[in-house]
Structure 1
């Protein structure tokens, strides 16, 4: 279903509203496709995001604040996400030796392995989502989105 079908009415919808609706529909479609590709690994988009952030630490731990700042979706409950990843064996939590009030999160070998499996699947999913765009159009789309 495209945006025109969704917002069909008897009056003209202002372009600003149409744009917001369209962007919301696109975001939902992307989330659906990514969620579907992550489902076989029992990982949510937010959990994948946490694991990716920790992989980017290159073996160094991160605290909850750092993870939360780098999350794509700021609405996520980072503590809950980390707890679920601990139960799956993908991350470990420890108390910082220098500052006992600071909790550090580190990705495990299993966490790195699951990301390695997911990377290829997610790459193909992203290519499929964007299959109707050529490279020039993607550059232009990114240029426009950077205006946010």
Structure 2
């Protein structure tokens, strides 16, 4: 389905770049909604899921909150608040950094790792659905184009 059909736009876009911008924003929101639906039964938000994935990537090493903030997909997220919520759910541990008492180290717990493992199954299913729409080469090429757009 075209972006024009999806947003019920009858008039043409001013330029192909305007169409691209609208299409990227619409598609980004569509993907976010799809991911939110997958995460809802686990009680996680997209931002909390992002933090857990960052921590899993560094496991078993702790990560400073400032480093998590730098790596977040959503740069407007409040990492400290997200970590507080994940601590309350017992998905991460927060400790004072031994080398810098002003810094805070965060590490994912076994419970957090187990939750991500369960979510990986759903992510694999989502990826399989996308394989029916794009080949791996097309997905790689699209990703490269998006990288160029941000360069």
- TM-score normalized with structure 2 length: 0.90
Give structure 2 stretches of 5+ with no counterpart: none
Question: Residue 60 of structure 2 contacts residue 107 of structure 2 at CA under 8 Å; is this kept in 1?
Answer: yes
Residues 59-86 of structure 1, C-alpha deviation per residue, up to 9 Å, x if partnerless? 1111111001111111111011001100
In the alignment, which residue of structure 1 is the partner of 2:109? 108
Aligned length: 148
Residue 90 in structure 1 maps to residue 86 in structure 2: no
SS in 2 for 1:105: strand
Task: Quote the offset at 1:7 in angstroms.
Answer: 5.6
Task: Quote the offset at 1:123 in angstroms.
Answer: 1.9
SS in 2 for 1:132: coil
SS in 1 for 2:58: coil
Task: Quote the offset at 1:127 in angstroms.
Answer: 2.8
Partners of 1:11 and 1:59 lie apart in 2 by 52
Residue 16 in structure 1 maps to residue 17 in structure 2: yes
Task: Quote the offset at 1:9 in angstroms.
Answer: 3.4
Question: Residue 30 of structure 1 contacts residue 129 of structure 1 at CA under 8 Å; is this kept in 2?
Answer: no
In the alignment, which residue of structure 1 is the partner of 2:74? 73
> Per the alignment, do residues 12 and 44 of structure 1 end up closer, same or farther by CA in structure 2, a change over 3 Å counting?
closer
> Per the alignment, do residues 98 and 146 of structure 1 end up closer, same or farther by CA in structure 2, a change over 3 Å counting?
closer
Partners of 2:33 and 2:12 lie apart in 1 by 30
In the alignment, which residue of structure 1 is the partner of 2:4? 4
> Per the alignment, do residues 135 and 100 of structure 1 end up closer, same or farther by CA in structure 2, a change over 3 Å counting?
closer
Bigger relative contact order (CA 8 A; separation at least 6): 1
> Per the alignment, do residues 127 and 75 of structure 1 end up closer, same or farther by CA in structure 2, a change over 3 Å counting?
farther
In the alignment, which residue of structure 2 is the partner of 1:31? 32
Task: Quote the offset at 1:99 in angstroms.
Answer: 2.1
RMSD over aligned CA atoms reads 1.6
Partners of 1:58 and 1:23 lie apart in 2 by 33
Partners of 1:76 and 1:12 lie apart in 2 by 32
In the alignment, which residue of structure 1 is the partner of 2:120? 119
> Per the alignment, do residues 18 and 99 of structure 1 end up closer, same or farther by CA in structure 2, a change over 3 Å counting?
same
